[in-house]
Amino acid sequence: MNLVAHPSDLSGRIEVPSSKSHMQRLLAAGLLAKGESWIRRPSHGADAMAAAEVAAGLGADIEIGEDALKMRGGLSPRTDILHLGESGLGMRLFSPIAALASTPMTMMAEGSLKGRPMQTMADALTALGAEVNLNTGRPPIQLKGPLSGGHVTLDGGTSSQFLTGLLMALPCAAADSVLEVSNLKSKPYVDMTLEVLSSTGISIHHEDHQRFSIPGGQHYLPFDETVAGDWSAGAFLLILAALCGEPFLEVDGLGNQPTQADQAVTGALLLSGAKLMRTETGIRVERGRRKGFRFDATHCPDLFPPLAAFAAFCKGPTVITGLHRLQHKESDRGTALQEEFAKAGIQIDLNSTEDTLTVRPGPIQAAKLSGRGDHRMVMAAAVLGLAGAPIEIEGVEAVAKSYPDFFDALSEVGARFGKA
């Protein structure tokens, strides 16, 4: 489906959706907790719903409502095939958990997830006692446990998601475990995992995110938790507030707990000269002219699309470091941003040697941009259209992965979208 985003003035308040990252961790904890847990304000994005189906397939009894999800945990697989959709986090989170059981299981992927590398995960799970088979290093993944625990060394340079999976699974293994982690990226996501573990009765000690000591034989406690507002989606809304607020757009639902990597967007906005103000319910960003800035997104790579879109309207070039983190996303986001933004008249330079993406701003030109099957590319294209010139966006349905109501929510605060 295609939509055209037209230049718009946005006003009032808009609430961020629930975090799919936080929700998936809570679903994993609820699965492993014996007893009844509640997840309030659940995410209804495709990734979160896929995770709920996997948790049910692994033994959880789940009832989903609009405002709450009730689950009774207990790892007792009901099926030997689990479908993760396109969720990279879901695949890397639930594979170690599935490997706790002695039942053979196959973890299935769809879309771009079929091409994402999983060999590092397979090697580590094998070292920890599981049997693992891959399709040339990629999904589907065939698993057979039980995961027994032990000592393993991980390279955290590509993704922290598998580390999250191990941190959630290994406390339930029979033996103690030690994880030695080098070159860890996206540390805030690991901190989110540790916060969820602590709140559900699990004890893990780490030394500067490099050595994690995990006692085995632990038991998750049932919980009643509210899913945090999603800073990854909130980044787009804050940027739209800075570019299109008239007289202001207030973004509600962004808190500081649990830790989320994309909270760093506020730092990028401040570097550009933007003025942010905390209100009783959210954050208000003043509309105005912005200058180019330099920002390190190594630990928050999901900020590349919204910051690149924002930088297109800043005065002077913007340099974002951490380019190597973009290759194994829903699309190769560095190349996708460069090619799609060029259609709208915005030059983006990629420098793999310096690990940078540089946005050179200019007048936005009306254009037709492909969403590349990537929810964040669709949202970035929408920013160019709402703040610049009419942009036709191909494949807008990709937003269902994390923010199904993206276009409807923006329409309620003044955004103008039309059919192509």
Kindly list the catalytic residues.
302
Please state whether the peptide bond connecting residue 306 to the residue before it is cis, i.e. omega within 30 degrees of 0. no
Please state whether the peptide bond connecting residue 140 to the residue before it is cis, i.e. omega within 30 degrees of 0. yes
d(CA 363, CA 365): 6
Bridge-based pairing of strands 245-252 and 282-285 is antiparallel
Q: Tell which residue, 341, 332, 340, has the closest CA to residue 313.
A: 341
Place of tokens 């999904």: 139
Phi-psi region of 85 (alpha: psi -120 to 50; beta: other; left: phi over 0): left
Which token pair is 29?
Answer: 């904890």
List of residues 6+ apart from 135 with CB closer than 8 A: none
List of residues 6+ apart from 353 with CB closer than 8 A: none
Q: Tell which residue, 258, 74, 26, 60, has the closest CA to residue 172.
A: 74
Three-class SS of residue 385? helix
Exposure letters 35-59 (e unless 16+ CB within 10 A, then b): eebbbebbbbbbbbbbbbbbbbbbb
d(CA 22, CA 399): 18
Structural contact between residues 313 and 243, judged by C-beta atoms closer than 8 angstroms:
yes
Structural contact between residues 301 and 264, judged by C-beta atoms closer than 8 angstroms:
no
Three-class SS of residue 214? strand
d(CA 251, CA 235): 10
Residue 173: exposure state from Cβ atoms within 10 A (0-12, 13-18, ≥19): buried
